[in-house]
Amino acid sequence: MKITEIQIIPIKPQNGLVAFASFVLNESLYLGSIGILTRPEGGYRLVYPTKKVGERNINIFHPINKVFAKSIEKEVIKEFEDVMKNDRYSENSFGK
């Protein structure tokens, strides 16, 4: 598995959501609108996009095993942390 072109878009934190991410998988598939949320115990987790159909939320895409999910999470969260350390975005720019 190869994850490239990771893009992070920080947002003003709301209900634990702190950013959106996208990336290219195996130089063949673009995946976007992935939410980065804070964990209550510290750290971050990813949430994948859904679509509301009637009363149900249908998954658009998501990892189907823990090993794959952890690999994606590790790469994306590393990039998020790098962006938050090195870019113009910081907690202060969101009025905290």
Average pLDDT of the residues of the chain: 91
Q: What is the DSSP string of 28-73?
A: TEEEEEEEEEE-TTSSEEEE--EEEETTEEEES---SSHHHHHHHH
Contacts of 66 (CB under 8 A, 6+ apart): none
pTM, rounded to two decimals: 0.85
Tell me, what's the pLDDT at 86?
83
Our count of domains for the chain comes to 1
Q: Is residue 45 part of a domain?
A: yes
Q: Is residue 32 part of a domain?
A: yes
Q: Is residue 22 part of a domain?
A: yes
Tell me, what's the pLDDT at 90?
54
Stretch 3-10: mean pLDDT, rounded? 97
CATH number at residue 74: 3.30.1120.40
Res 88 pLDDT > 90: no
What sign has the CA pseudo-torsion 59, 64, 65, 71?
A: negative
Residues of the domain holding 56: 3-91
Tell me, what's the pLDDT at 95?
44
Q: Is residue 96 part of a domain?
A: no
Both tokens of 7, joined, read: 């893009």
Stretch 13-39: mean pLDDT, rounded? 97
Count other C-beta atoms under 10 Å from residue 72's C-beta: 21
